[in-house]
C-alpha cells in the first residue's frame, strides 16, 4: 500500500509499503535518513517520532503505555504524535500520511 511521508523540511515522498512491516521500517528501507530510528524499533528512543495526518489518527491502533512514556521525551510532541515503529502497516492504512518530526 501507499505511505505518504513528509520530511521536516517539507519534501514529500510516496513509498510503497508491505503489510507486516512497521511504518518506521518502510521509511528506513526507503533510505530516508530523516528518521534515525536509533533503537531499531524497540520503543525506547523516540527518534522515529512522526506526526500523523489528523484524518488517519483514529484508524491507527491505540497507543500503549510505553509508547506514550517514550513520546514524552520527544521534541515537539503534539496530539498527532506517534512512534512510527509502533504502527504496523496494513492494507487498511493504504494512503496513510505522516510527517517526520524534527529531531532537534
Binding to ligand FES by residue 46, rule CB under 6 A?
A: yes
Distance of closest approach, residue 81 Cβ to ligand FES, in angstroms? 12
Angle at 52 between CA 46 and CA 56, to 5 degrees: 140
The reply on whether position 100 binds ligand FES by CB under 6 A is no
- Does 74 bind ligand FES (CB under 6 A)? Our answer is no
Pair type for strands 49-52 and 2-6: unpaired
Interface with ligand FES includes 83 (CB under 6 A)?
Answer: yes
**Residue ranges in contact with ligand FES by CB under 6 A:** 24, 37-39, 41, 43-48, 70, 83, 85
Amino acid at each position: 500500500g501507499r505511505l505518504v511521508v513528509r520530511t521536516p523540511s517539507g519534501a514529500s515522498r510516496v513509498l510503497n509499503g508491505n503489510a507486516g512491516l512497521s511504518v518506521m521500517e518502510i521509511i528506513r528501507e526507503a533510505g530516508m535518513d530523516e528518521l534515525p530510528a536509533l533503537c531499531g524499533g524497540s520503543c525506547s528512543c523516540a527518534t522515529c517520532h512522526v506526526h500523523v495526518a489528523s484524518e488517519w489518527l483514529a484508524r491507527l491502533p491505540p497507543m500503549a503505555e510505553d509508547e506514550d512514556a517514550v513520546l514524552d521525551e520527544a521534541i515537539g510532541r503534539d496530539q498527532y504524535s506517534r512512534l512510527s515503529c509502533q504502527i504496523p502497516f496494513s492494507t487498511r492504512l493504504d494512503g496513510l500520511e505522516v510527517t517526520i518530526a524534527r529531531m532537534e
